[in-house]
């Protein structure tokens, strides 16, 4: 199975800062990576598909980049509602998820 390693496990930031979350695949997966947000007591939400493609209804401050093995989810000027856990998922071979990055308030 393809293993996805997310880093850091926890990221402490102040609202208004911009951040980058990393997801590294154990082998090349082209751009078959997708990003999700999980808030406590809410449904998981799709943020970005195929590494960099936007999703209708998702704020433009969320963006994605990367190909091959290294991928990044960027949040431009973090807002209070963004503090949650973020997961990457690959669809290149079977379906696997990363272990998540928790974005918390500093």
Partner 1 sequence: EVQLVESGGGLVQPGRSLKLSCAASGFTFSDYYMAWVRQAPTRGLEWVASISYDGGSTHYRDSVKGRFTISRDNAERSLYLQMDSLRSEDTATYYCTCFNYGTDYFDYWGQGVMVTVSS
Q: Does 31 bind partner 1 (CB under 8 A)?
A: no
The CA distance from 47 to 73, in Å, is 9
Q: Which of 94, 102, 105, 106 binds partner 1 (CB under 8 A)?
A: 94
Q: Does 63 bind partner 1 (CB under 8 A)?
A: no
CB of 18 or CB of 57, closer to partner 1: 57
Instruction: Give the other-Cβ count within 10 Å of 32's Cβ.
Output: 19
Question: Which of 20, 106, 36 lies closest to 71 in space, CA to CA?
Answer: 20
Tell me which stretch binds partner 1 (CB under 8 A): 13-21, 58-66, 72-80, 85-93. 85-93
């Amino acid at each position: 199975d393809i293993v996805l390693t997310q880093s850091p496990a926890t990221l402490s930031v102040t609202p208004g800062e911009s951040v980058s979350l990393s997801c590294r695949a154990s082998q090349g997966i082209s751009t078959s990576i997708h990003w999700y947000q999980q808030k406590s007591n809410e449904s998981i939400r799709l943020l970005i598909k195929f590494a960099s493609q936007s999703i209708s209804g998702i704020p433009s401050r969320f963006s994605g980049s990367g190909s091959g093995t290294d991928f990044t989810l960027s949040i431009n000027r973090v807002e209070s509602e963004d503090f949650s856990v973020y997961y990457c998922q690959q669809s290149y071979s079977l379906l696997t998820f990363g272990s998540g990055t928790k974005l918390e308030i500093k």
